[in-house]
Structure 1
């Protein structure tokens, strides 16, 4: 119990201390006009206040990841707490803040455009394809996961197929309509349900005295799976998630002032970390390692959510808690498709004021997602985890390059970027969905790739700064906003 409470306290302290430090390093310009005003179009560029933006950002980034991931990560034991706390403070929240704020400084640009600008033109095309893949996977996972939870608490006559159709219909509406018409109005209600459910489960763990284990570095995974790199890909949302880099630009286009960024981007990631801590603790407290593994094998993370909710809060309270969990994937799935539409529109330079333009871009994405719903959830989750952390790796290198080109403290992004580079490549070199190399070979290969990435980063920074100092190629990191819109 002490470890759990200290971890929650550290996350909160991290927001007020390291979050403030990151904000200072970035250098907020209060007087600078944001894209919400400069490029207002009534669809995606719409000014909204901090409370609405914060709640939308939280629900955008907090899909089933900060619940399902930590539940599966709980198999490793309390070592999972360390990754949630330190990963969230020093990697995830930094990642979210930098991607959101750099996007604000570049007309609300999405990650592919930012990668092309700061890492090289080729990255724009690669990251564009990668982002679309990730977002379609996210949208698909966030259809099947909430559908399974809804089916568990619905009458027998409500079929799984009907639930999936209903969710897809909502996603289509939320993807096509202006951001303030559906998302801006429903999310405050959904957010309240989410917060209440998380507080309810977390409070019940404390009040009812459930035995949350204390800190140990022992790997408790019943299958003996290695902590590195698997834990760092299993728990992504709640610690570090590249999916967030696809979501922050949605809010960068609705943010009124740069000073609101720390609360919206850094702060909501910290809150997501707290949610992840609660569900990881619940998984450890209510089940033994073997018991948790058995429930996961029988019914997946959704079964654990149901058992935890009913056990801690009873039938009525437990149902409300499950509804709070259902809200998470649905409110990330809709913005996953919305973000995919925006990225494609930016890439092929098609304006989004006309609904017909939004429609012909979005509908093929939904068709692909419908096909993917027939694929095994566990397989989809493994691909999602790898794609997710690979995107986080790219986004952190973008943030490091942005800061380095301004001669600012780039280490705040470069260190977590190097770490997740090592973890991501170790995983894909060793995993069954990857190259299936022996783990020792995977470690060596990932170390070489990480070293090469670091060397390439420093070489590029040195070359671009030298070209700028000589007057050959001035560095432009922040774009002038189009005030004629």
Structure 2
């Protein structure tokens, strides 16, 4: 119980203390005009209230990530707490803040353009392709999952729901951001928060009344509780499974959307750093709920061994048991509506990224269609593949993108003569994580499945070598 309370308090204090420090260190300046004020176009560059921008950003980056990822991560045990808290405060929130603020400082530019400015054309061209591919895969994943669930609930055909969701995606992608996204997404964002707070409240009540026993972090907790530890190694796999609750490269693709709607630079801490902290709190709640409901990580592993018992099943079981009929409604919204609202902004980000690459004006709807239609045709074709085949590559791609953004932020600080270690240390750590994962993970998870100890040594070398290369280039930039 006290571990859970301490973790939530740590995340809140992280926003208050470290978030404010990062804001001052970056040098947020309200005397600078933001892109929304400097060049409004009524489509993508459109100033909106800060509370609305925050809730949209939260929903864009959250969706099912901090719920499903946290539940899957909880199978490793209470060590998930350590990664969520430290990762969220010192890596994920800083990653999101830098993504948004660098976009603001560069006229609302998409992430590949920002990376190109600070890391060079090679990284820019790589990321132009990589980002669009990741966004399409995320959008497809968040079409396929909800369509399957809707077909189960309504006993209708999955293909029909695919058409319906894609139709909605096309409309949401084409219309100005303040027409659909700016109006209904704050409602869904608030619903996702309320759902998490209700589950958290149920655990508080149960913990203090003695009806629930929440897991505590102790010396015995520093172990891998996964039911299949040989294939699911604590380091690095837990750090890939729990991405959205700690650090996620996908967030950087969403930051420019909101960077084009913020009125003042000082609002960036609330929108970018704050939304990530909120996501970390949601992840902490669901990781704890998963372990608590099933009597610990061992019980959670046992409950999820059958193929039919996935993370969506866990959400439904917990919500209905602890919140009753209301919980069932929140569960449906959580596992269906929220991923849909993440998927459409993924396609919107893909459209804007491609438009930035070719400097293709998006003021007219006909020009938006030129980019959007091919994207949705590709997306629909990909839905014909198995969901697991699509999703298993999203996680590692997500973290590889995060690595690139962390190095971008580090180079920015090096160029402006500031202490880059705030970004280069997390970048080195995540480079090591991703390199190790690609080496030791099973083939079915996108890895090479080599000997674990050898893979970890090579991964560590790659991380340190990347730091060495960065220091060499940073020294040249500073000179």
Secondary structure at the counterpart of residue 263 of structure 1 = helix
Match of 1:343 among 353, 359, 367: 353
Cα pair distance change 1:377/1:210, threshold 3 Å: farther
Secondary structure at the counterpart of residue 455 of structure 1 = helix
2:170 alignment partner in structure 1: 172
1:375 alignment partner in structure 2: 385
Query: Is 2:379 the counterpart of 1:366?
Result: no
Of the structure 1 ranges 368-377 and 45-54, higher mean CA displacement relative to structure 2 is found in 368-377
Match of 1:196 among 194, 197, 211: 194
Match of 1:255 among 246, 251, 262: 262
> What is the rounded CA distance, in whole Å, between the counterparts of 1:16 and 1:316 in structure 2?
33
2:459 alignment partner in structure 1: 446
Describe how 1:84-99 pairs up with structure 2 within 5 A. Answer: 84-99=84-99
2:216 alignment partner in structure 1: 214
Contact 2:414 2:477 in 1 (8 A): no
Contact 2:108 2:260 in 1 (8 A): yes
CA distances 1:398-418 after superposition (whole Å, capped 9, x unpaired):
011111111112111111111
Contact 1:65 1:238 in 2 (8 A): yes
2:447 alignment partner in structure 1: 434
Question: RMSD of the TM alignment (CA)?
Answer: 1.5
Describe how 1:278-317 pairs up with structure 2 within 5 A. Answer: 278-287=285-294, 288-296=296-304, 297-317=307-327
CA distances 1:431-465 after superposition (whole Å, capped 9, x unpaired):
21233322222212222221221111111111122
CA distances 1:110-154 after superposition (whole Å, capped 9, x unpaired):
1111111101111111011110111111111111223344445x3
2:238 alignment partner in structure 1: 231
CA distances 1:333-386 after superposition (whole Å, capped 9, x unpaired):
111000000000100111001111111211222222222223333332220001
Cα pair distance change 1:63/1:308, threshold 3 Å: same
1:60 alignment partner in structure 2: 60
Contact 2:415 2:478 in 1 (8 A): yes
> What is the rounded CA distance, in whole Å, between the counterparts of 1:290 and 1:167 in structure 2?
37
Cα pair distance change 1:162/1:55, threshold 3 Å: same
> What is the rounded CA distance, in whole Å, between the counterparts of 1:441 and 1:381 in structure 2?
27
Runs of at least 4 residues off by over 6 Å: none
Q: What is the TM-score normalised by the length of structure 2?
A: 0.94
> What is the rounded CA distance, in whole Å, between the counterparts of 2:161 and 2:310 in structure 1?
19
> What is the rounded CA distance, in whole Å, between the counterparts of 1:212 and 1:142 in structure 2?
31
Of the structure 1 ranges 427-436 and 271-280, higher mean CA displacement relative to structure 2 is found in 427-436
> What is the rounded CA distance, in whole Å, between the counterparts of 2:76 and 2:323 in structure 1?
25
Secondary structure at the counterpart of residue 235 of structure 2 = coil
Contact 1:58 1:269 in 2 (8 A): yes
Q: Which runs of 5+ in 2 are unaligned?
A: none
> What is the rounded CA distance, in whole Å, between the counterparts of 1:102 and 1:122 in structure 2?
19
> What is the rounded CA distance, in whole Å, between the counterparts of 1:295 and 1:357 in structure 2?
50
2:249 alignment partner in structure 1: 242
Contact 1:312 1:318 in 2 (8 A): no
Describe how 1:378-417 pairs up with structure 2 within 5 A. Answer: 378-417=388-427
> What is the rounded CA distance, in whole Å, between the counterparts of 2:204 and 2:164 in structure 1?
37
Of the structure 1 ranges 160-169 and 20-29, higher mean CA displacement relative to structure 2 is found in 160-169
Of the structure 1 ranges 438-447 and 419-428, higher mean CA displacement relative to structure 2 is found in 438-447
Cα deviation for residue 257 of structure 1 reads 0.4
The number of aligned residues is 464
Contact 2:227 2:302 in 1 (8 A): no
CA distances 1:271-328 after superposition (whole Å, capped 9, x unpaired):
0001111111111111254543354332321111111111111133322233134332
Cα pair distance change 1:169/1:210, threshold 3 Å: farther
> What is the rounded CA distance, in whole Å, between the counterparts of 1:299 and 1:317 in structure 2?
18
Cα deviation for residue 194 of structure 1 reads 1.5
> What is the rounded CA distance, in whole Å, between the counterparts of 1:289 and 1:11 in structure 2?
22
> What is the rounded CA distance, in whole Å, between the counterparts of 1:437 and 1:345 in structure 2?
41
Secondary structure at the counterpart of residue 234 of structure 2 = coil
